[in-house]
Homo-oligomer: A and B are copies of this chain.
Amino acid sequence: MNGAQAMVRTLADAGVTVWFANPGTSELHLVAALDEEPRARGVLCLFEGVATGAADGYGRMAPDPAAVLLHLGPGLGNGLANLHNARRGGTPVVNVVGDHATGHRRFDAPLQSDIAAMAGTVSVWTGAPERVAEAGGAAAEAVAAARAGGVATLIVPADVAWDEGGSVAAPAPAPAVRDDADLEPVIAALNGGEPCLLLIGGGATRREGLEAADRIAAATGARVLCETFPARLERGAGLPAVGRLAYLGDFAAMQLDGVRHIILAGARRPVTFFAYPGREGDLVPDGCAVHDLGAAALARLADAVAADVKPTPQPLRRPDVPDAPLTAETAAAVIGALLPEDAIVSDESNTSGLWLADATAGAPRHDWLTLTGGAIGQGLPVATGAAVACPDRPVICLESDGSAMYTISALWTHARENLNITTVVFSNGAYAILSMEMARVGATEAAPTTEGTAVKDMVDLSRPGLDFVAMATGMGVPATRARTVEEFADRFARALAEPGPHLIEIAVPPIG
């Protein structure tokens, strides 16, 4: 067998069967190998950022990672932003990037560039087999590295793919989950009478972690918060409620005010998302101790301090569909009122999503996928991958207009694969988050008497307006527009009732 076949089969043996792909000439033997492997499924994306974001969404929801297939350095470049998000979320992704044949590199042909340097910025592991004999083994290593949590990039020279002499490698053992945290100082803190905060993230935002954290809180009086941008937060009726650390540093500082011990369970030390002139970036209050427990030790800690305590599930509690004009707030209520059982929500609604957490907290149980690395253009692709991973679950993609445009061609893959995704575009005609940040960084005062219009222009998306109904229709996704709460509720319910992709554009005023 050739190297491509060896790699595709090795990946399939290791559980990696879904390939989100945007291939080029140098990857065609890998494409051909997908045809010969009955377990493999290729999902074509029209832009690499869709493929990498889909792999991120898939990896958050499925037990096995997906593969991505990208064309040389420029293809990897187009995929980097969503690989950045996967890196920050610790999502397993097997990132296969084609390269020129080994003998062709000396020519520095037009598409050549430093793939490894680019890959290094997002990858926990980078491998580049130089001979076909190494192909299968490198593929097995890539899967193992990805399963440890992150992007493993496998750079495949064209001749390594097409040469005969490949062999399938056995799956490498799954990495052991490390749990060597010393519980004693944490237990001492929890029992010490000072205000404690348990900040959960990473692997601790699923049922087990949430219940362990809730039990610890009930037993010790500690508070629990979830990291600001969890990769996958299980939520809703039947699970313990958990708030999220605020995105805005001012609000986060209020949440953390007075805390004397922060116990990190899968989360990172809290810092502000951006720096602001004259403001502290570290959100840990002065004199507050930080204990890095790790996600894996949470259950052990719960057994130690809350052995007899049961978690408190929140009841089913939905808002009513409001009788009020359509705004980001009332739209959130509609979503909370109608969110179906077992939904997966890909949330890139940004400022328009401010009310979503409350409105959906008591909805039927669901998963919430967020913008882990802050690189926008993630929502539509992550929804794509989640829908491929979980074809029996409804996927709701909550998008802001600005963010949607980075990877808008994901809609075509929604249609192509007939994915059960309902996309709601909150169209406020602005980069509203930048309007808000403009004042916060002090840039407004820097230009008090604007002669030009750059500040206004750079946050304005209304000239011309973006018609997402037309764009979605042009990519094969049935789409409608809602102008009132009633229309939105009606269209959202209908889209949820009908399998396959839908898009609903709602015009909402910018917040603030």
Bitwise, A1-18 to B at CB < 8 A (1) or not (0) is 010110000000000000
> B409–A34 contact, CB under 8 A?
no
A110-B273 CB under 8 A given contacts A437-B25, A442-B162: yes
Minimum CB distance partner of A29 in chain B: B443
Q: Does A100 contact B (CB under 8 A)?
A: yes
The smallest C-beta distance from A51 to any residue of chain B, in angstroms, reads 12
Task: List residues of chain B with CB within 8 A of the CB of A446.
Answer: 2, 4-5, 29, 32-33, 36, 162
Taking CB atoms, residues of chain B closer than 8 Å to A2 are 446
Q: How many Å from the CB of A326 to the closest CB on chain B?
A: 21
CB distance from A404 to the nearest CB of B (A): 9
Query: Is A497 positioned at the interface, with any CB of B under 8 Å from its CB?
Result: no
Q: Is A353 located at the chain interface by the 8 A CB criterion?
A: no
Cβ proximity bits A180-194 to B, threshold 8 Å, 1 near / 0 not: 000000000000000
A434 touches B109 (CB 8 A): no
A110-B373 in contact given A46-B405, A274-B100 (Cβ < 8 Å): yes
Determine whether A275 belongs to the interface, using a CB cutoff of 8 Å to chain B. Answer: yes
B474 touches A470 (CB 8 A): yes
Indicate if the CB atoms of B273 and A375 lie closer than 8 Å: no
User: Which residues from B are CB-within-8-Å of A108?
Assistant: 268, 271
User: Would you call A463 an interface residue if the criterion is a C-beta within 8 Å of the partner chain's C-beta atoms?
Assistant: yes
State whether B277 touches A447 (Cβ < 8 A): no
A113–B85 Cα distance when bound, in Å, is 11
Q: Are A374 and B454 in contact (CB under 8 A)?
A: no
A412 and B406 in contact (CB under 8 A), knowing A81-B74, A372-B110? no
Chain A interface residue count, CB cutoff 8 Å, equals 113
Are B377's CB and A78's CB within 8 A? yes
> Is there contact, CB below 8 Å, between A409 and B416?
no
Q: Oligomeric state, in number of copies?
A: 2
Contact A78 B107 (CB under 8 A): no
Are A42 and B406 in contact, with the CB atoms below 8 A? no
Q: How far is the CA of A15 from the CA of B275 in the complex (A)?
A: 31
Residues of B contacting A120 in the complex (Cβ-Cβ under 8 angstroms): 114, 117
Kindly supply a per-residue 1/0 record for chain A positions 442-464, scoring 1 wherever the CB is within 8 Å of any chain B CB and 0 otherwise. Answer: 11101100111111011011011
Q: Do A463 and B416 touch (CB < 8 A)?
A: yes
Q: Which among A4, A75, A107, A110 has the greatest number of chain B C-beta atoms within 10 A?
A: A110
Within 8 A of B (CB), among A448-489: 450-455, 457-458, 460-461, 463-471, 473-476
* Residue A135 CB within 8 A of the other chain: no
A80 touches B (CB below 8 Å): yes
What would be 16 A-B contacts, judged by CB atoms less than 8 Å apart? A25-B434, A26-B275, A28-B438, A31-B438, A31-B455, A33-B446, A40-B452, A46-B405, A74-B375, A78-B377, A100-B275, A107-B282, A110-B373, A117-B117, A405-B409, A405-B412
List the 5 shortest-distance A-B pairs measured between CB atoms, nearest first.
A77-B80, A464-B476, A470-B474, A74-B375, A101-B275
Other contacts beyond A29-B446, A35-B447: 15, CB < 8 A? A21-B458, A28-B441, A31-B455, A35-B453, A42-B454, A44-B457, A44-B458, A74-B374, A78-B80, A107-B272, A109-B274, A110-B229, A111-B273, A111-B374, A117-B120
